[in-house]
Amino acid sequence: MDRSPSRPKLLLHACCGVCSAYVPEILRDEYDVTIYYDNPNIFPQEEFDRRAEAARVMAEKYGLPFILVPQGTIDWYRAVRGHAKARENGERCRKCITHRLDAAFRYAKTHHFDIVATTVSVSRRKNIEQVHAAGRALASVHGIPFLDRDWRKGGGERESQRRAKEAGIYRQEYCGCVYSLVKMKARVKSRVTS
């Protein structure tokens, strides 16, 4: 796809291949989209690599630039410190999303993007208001608009899953961090033993 100087440059934070399978498609007519993979929350490293590769494959499929920020967990653990036991979509998730989006906004500012968005909220497991509130707050801090659209409208999540399956890319079974991995394992175990 042509990179048009007339369309705004959008930095699209993405956390996996599944969420990169649909959202870029609906944005690329309107914006010059760049996919930005910066997810220090993802544990372990192999999982980070598998999701990054899946997101890269989708970016290539759509002919979009792909930026991979190498894993660097220390600041993320610092950001969520004290909230290890918080429920999903609680305070730990708020801090996690804010931390990752803040990095995206900083990158966008340094590299002269016009607008920032994230695919994270395409999943029904995420609290869309929490994600959008974090984006809006960071937009006013960094002076770059945040695109707070609802990607789930019209079956967006189902479509993401369908396209990811069709593309044969890796599809994860937990949100990303070590805490969500432990929870997922406990869920599987209780299903097996009940």
Residues that bind ligand SF4 (CB under 6 A): 41, 88, 92-93, 96-97, 175-177, 179-180
Specify the residue, 59 or 120, whose C-beta has the smaller distance to ligand SF4. 120
The minimum distance between CB 40 and ligand SF4, in angstroms, equals 10
CA distance 94 to 39: 14
The minimum distance between CB 96 and ligand SF4, in angstroms, equals 3
CA distance 141 to 193: 49
Q: Are the CB atoms for 141 and 106 separated by under 8 Å?
A: no
Rg (CA), the chain: 16
Nearest Cα neighbor of 38 from 20, 15, 58 is 15
Specify the residue, 64 or 177, whose C-beta has the smaller distance to ligand SF4. 177
Specify the residue, 31 or 119, whose C-beta has the smaller distance to ligand SF4. 119
Specify the residue, 58 or 177, whose C-beta has the smaller distance to ligand SF4. 177
Q: Structure tokens of 11?
A: 């930095």
The minimum distance between CB 61 and ligand SF4, in angstroms, equals 25
The SS3 assignment for 169 reads coil
Specify the residue, 19 or 64, whose C-beta has the smaller distance to ligand SF4. 19
The minimum distance between CB 160 and ligand SF4, in angstroms, equals 17
The SS3 assignment for 68 reads strand
The minimum distance between CB 164 and ligand SF4, in angstroms, equals 18
Nearest Cα neighbor of 61 from 17, 109, 27 is 17
Q: Are the CB atoms for 16 and 49 separated by under 8 Å?
A: no
